[in-house]
Each structure stands twice: as structure tokens, then as C-alpha cells.
Amino acid sequence: MKRLGPGLILALVVGFAFLYLPILALIAYSFNASRLVTVWGGFSTHWYVTLMSNEPLLDAAWLSIRLAFVAATVATALGTLAALALARHGAFRGRTLFTGMVLAPLVMPEVITGLSLLLLFVAADVERGFWTVTIAHATFCLGFACIVVQSRLAGFDRSLEEAAQDLGATPFVTFWTVTLPLIWPAVAAAWMLAFTLSLDDLVIASFTTGPGATTLPMRLYSAIRLGVSPEINAACTIMIGAVAVAVIVASLLMKRDRLAGG
Amino acid sequence: MSARNAAARLGRLVVAVPYLWLLLFFLVPFGMVLRIALSDSATALPPYAPHFDGFSQLGEFLSGLDFENFRLLGDDELYWQSYLYSLRLAALTTLIALAIGYPLAYAMASVSRRAQGLLVVLVILPFWTSFLIRVYAWIGILRPDGLLDAALMGLGLTSEPLRLLNTEAAVLIGMVYSYLPFMVLPLFATLQKLDRSLLEAAADLGATPLKAFLTVTLPLSLPGILAGSALVFIPAVGEFVIPDLLGGPDTVMIGKVLWNEFFSNRDWPLASAVAIVLLIVLVLPLVLLQRARLARGEAA
């Protein structure tokens, strides 16, 4: 390892300060006793208490969690299949189109994804609400899940699968008893990524939702438009905490997986 | 033989299930956008009158195609100016993110392997937190009498509030902040793989560190620069939340125009036409991204 020069240390400090100071400030002011953003009125958990009696926000949070759970499960299942298709089924017909459709949602502006899915739902005349948002989220999270699983399949020892098949296992049994146990940390990480992406999404949900299905980001968005309040800071802090735990667990899973996989 | 048939069937299923899902929920909706962009607006519900109702009417459809919405986009200054404005703001965002991200990625690639893993997680972590939360954090900092003003005035650097919130500067700060991880990660990936002995060779041959950087490091990290720039530029062009919450009446980006046409004016055909033109604008950066990805694949 080379010693870091002062310039590189400065780059690290400035870069990470820029990334983290705004979030740290937001967290700090959720514990502020004063309602004013610039005045520190002492440490208080008052805003967390008022948050717990904010029924619309809690309802929206519960809806978002259920929705993200279903969407992440569907996205991970489809994303794993897509990753298997890309990694194992070499040159099937329409592979270029398939790759394009898997990867495009990763960079597509959300307004376009949201608008296009809404037009589909209107044309198909389905009632918009929980399930339409779930389908929309599963579709845009699929690509992310696929990439995570694909990276694991790339470093995969195929001779294990071949051995199982030589010993008479059917492809389905082979997948269930050999492939899946070997790739599950990546599948779990893909699920968590899809879950947080769904939980965070405002734009696509706003387009594809219907009456009675207001997600947490939609609720937060309308609250934020009205102005800054420590109660929103408290809600954001809880979400940041949940995400931080999820990311740490996911990266530990991936790390253990790498150590086990050599 | 039957086992092999079963395997083949299962293999086809593995491809077919996600394929059909994506055809139905990704490709077909794009066809819908195109179809509705070529429709007349109507005050009915849904608020558009389709021109295309099946292949039997293809001839009729072709003769009746309606490019009125696209003509409107070209004629009305608001639309093409907001496209140009979005492109300009996205380009500025990309340049600033590159200026901050390159030194950061370079420093990350220079530390020990163990520390690298930790730093990568630290870069990704804010990306996993909600967009909305990160934008909200900046409202608290930038608003009049917010944290930035309090800090600057407390230090005696300024005597009155800067009034940064609801300006273009605020939108730029918010976009650079939100998209910085997209720039840093591909840059880090290429810089980490860079063979440092090439720099030693350049130094041995008498190159100054600056010359070695310009002739060795920079060209070799070009795929990372391209990929990072495309990953920042593409979503930034269509951004809605950041200009809406941090910007003011002057910062009309095209994502916001689309949103307003759709939700406020309920002009679905026009919103669809805005989306189609936005996609066309993004084709070039998408192609660049794909080429950068291929170049990286070959290097690996």
C-alpha cells in the first residue's frame, strides 16, 4: 500500500463530508426540542412521540412496507430467472431485446416508466391501487435484482451442478439443492435492494396508484412541500436507520459469501 | 431422453417467464406512450382519443396519424427551452460530479483493499437512503435562516441570508449530491483495476506525475468516466423531484413539465409526446453508456 498524500486525504474528507453532513444534520435536528431548524433547544424525543400518533403517515408506512415486500419478492424471483437465463442460456432468440429490457429501467427517467405503465393500466381498464403499484415496482426493480444475482452466477463453479445431474438429479432438484443454496446470499441482497428501491419510490408510485393507496413517499412529499418540520426529520431518521441496518446486513452476507466461495 | 426434454422445457421456462413479464410491463407500455402521443386530447376519461385500435385499421391509422402534439412541442417555446435547460443542467451536474467524484474515486483506489470495501459501502449507503430524504435534508440547509446561513453568518462570512433555496444553484447542489455515487462507483471500478506499475514505468522514463496522470491514468480511466457521466446525465435530464422541491419558478426542467402536463393540465397526449422526445434526446448518452460497458468488459 502506498501512503496517501495530503491531496488524496483532502479528497476523501471533502467527498465523504459532502455525502454525510446533510444526513447527519437531518438526524441531529430530529432530536431538537425546538421547532426551529436553526435553534438548538436541547435534546428531545418529542417528535418521535408525535410521529407515533400521526395516523395517516403510519398507515402510509404500513402500506409501503407491505407493497415493498410483495414487489421485492416478485422482482427477485423474476430477476433471478432473468440472471439464470442470461448466464446459462447462451444465445436464445431475442437475447438482445431481453438484455435491453432488463437493463433499460436502471437508467430510464422515472417519469417515463411511471407514465408508460399508467397508460397500460388505463388501457387494460384495471382498478388502480395497491396491485398496480406493486407490478410497476416489481418491473423497475427486476433489473437491479438481475444484476446482483448475475454477478454471483459469474463466479460460480458449474461443475457442482454437473455433478448433481450426473448423479441423477433433475434440473429442478439441482437448482433447488445446489444452485440456490450457493447463490442465496446474492438473492437475499437482491431482495433487500429491491425492497428499499420500492420503499423509496415517489414518482412511479404517484403515476400508477389510485384512490386509497397512498404510499409513504407520497405522504412525505406532500408534507415536505408544506415546509420543514422536525416531525418529518424524525420519520426520515427512522427510515435512514432501517436502510443502514439493511445495507450492513446485506454487505455482511455478501462478504461471508465471498469468504465461503473463496 | 425424457429427462433431457424436461430440462429443455425448464430451460425455456426460465427464459420465458421474465421475458413475457418484461414484454407486457415494459415494451407494451412504451407502445402505449407512442400511441397516445399520436392521439388527440379529449376531455373524456381517459383523456385521449386513440387513433389506433388494432391491426385491421393499420391503413386508416397511418393516414390519420396525428403529429399535432409534436408540432406543439416544436412551436411552443416553453417546451424546447425546458429541454435545453434540462440538458444544460444535467451537463453541469455531470461536470461538477466528475470534478468531485474523480479525486474521491482516485483516493479510494489508493487505500488498502480492506479499507476499500468499507469506503465502497460508505459511498453506496446514501444511495440506499430515500431520494426524498436527501433532497429534504438540503431544504433544511439551504432555506433562508437554514443551517448554511446560520453557519456562514455565525462565522461572520456573510451578513445576510444567501437565499439559495429555490434557485438554480440549489437544484445543482441537490442533483450533484443525489447522483454522486453513480459517478464514483464506475470511476472507482476502473481506477482500482488500473495497473500501478504502468505509472512506475512512466516515472522511470522521466514523466512528471502530472504527465503520467494525463498520458496513462486519464486515458485508461476513460471507460469509467464515460459510464459514470452517462449514469449521472441520463436520470438527471428527466429529474422531477429535485427541481420541484429545491428549484424555483425559473428552474423548469422537462421532467417537471411532463408531470404538470399530466397531473395539472391532464393533457395525456402532450405528456406522452414530451416523454417520447425525452427518450430520443437520451438515445445518444445511452449508446455511449453501452459502449463504455462493453469497453470495460473487454478490459476485465
CA distance A192 to chain B (A): 10
- For residue A32, the SS3 value is strand
Q: Do B132 and A217 touch (CB under 8 A)?
A: yes
* Average of per-residue pLDDT across B45-61: 56
Q: Is the pLDDT of residue B297 over 60?
A: no
Q: Is B287 in CB contact (< 8 Å) with chain A? A: no
Q: Is the pLDDT of residue B147 over 90?
A: no
State the pLDDT at residue B246: 92
Q: What is the mean pLDDT of each run of 10 residues along chain A (262 residues)?
A: 75 90 87 75 84 88 94 96 85 82 82 92 91 95 90 80 85 85 87 88 92 90 84 86 78 67 44
Q: Is the pLDDT of residue B47 over 90?
A: no
State the pLDDT at residue A203: 92
State the pLDDT at residue B103: 93
A219 and A236 in contact (C-beta within 8 Å)? no
In a domain, B59, yes or no: no
**Residue carrying C-alpha cell 417546451:** B79
C-alpha cell at A80: 433471478
B136 and B242 in contact (C-beta within 8 Å)? no
The minimal CB distance from B27 to the residues A2, A101, A240 is found for A101
Sequence-distant (≥ 6) Cβ neighbours of residue A108 within 8 angstroms: A140
Owning domain of residue B165: 76-299
* Average of per-residue pLDDT across B229-252: 88
CATH topology of domain A54-261: MetI-like fold (1.10.3720)
Chosen from A12, A32, A161 to mutate, greatest number of chain B CBs within 10 A: A12
In a domain, B273, yes or no: yes
Residue-range domain boundaries for chain A: 54-261
Q: Is B33 in CB contact (< 8 Å) with chain A? A: yes
In a domain, B10, yes or no: no
Specify the higher pLDDT residue, B191 or A247: B191
In a domain, B4, yes or no: no
| Rounded Cα gap, residues A164 and A172, in angstroms | 11
C-alpha cell at B62: 397511418
For residue A94, the chain B residues in CB contact (below 8 A) are: 19
Domain count, chain B: 1
Q: Which residues is B40 bridged to in the sheet?
A: B49
In a domain, B71, yes or no: no
User: Of all helices (H) and strands (E), which one includes residue A6?
Assistant: helix A6-30
In a domain, B271, yes or no: yes
Q: Is A176 in CB contact (< 8 Å) with chain B? A: no
Using CB atoms within 10 A of its CB, is residue B27 exposed (0-12), middle (13-18) or buried (19+)?
middle
**pLDDT tens by residue, A6-34:** 888 898 998 899 989 998 888 888 888 87
Which CATH number does the domain housing residue B193 bear? 1.10.3720.10
Give the relative orientation of helices B113-128 and A230-261 as an angle to the nearest 10 degrees: 140
The proportion of chain B whose per-residue pLDDT surpasses 90, expressed as a percent, equals 21
Q: Is A131 in CB contact (< 8 Å) with chain B? A: no
A76 and A187 in contact (C-beta within 8 Å)? yes
State the pLDDT at residue B1: 47
Q: Do A9 and B128 touch (CB under 8 A)?
A: no
Q: Report B:65-94 residues touching A (Cβ under 8 A).
A: none
- Work out the pLDDT band at B299, boundaries 50, 70, 90: very low
Q: Do A111 and B235 touch (CB under 8 A)?
A: no
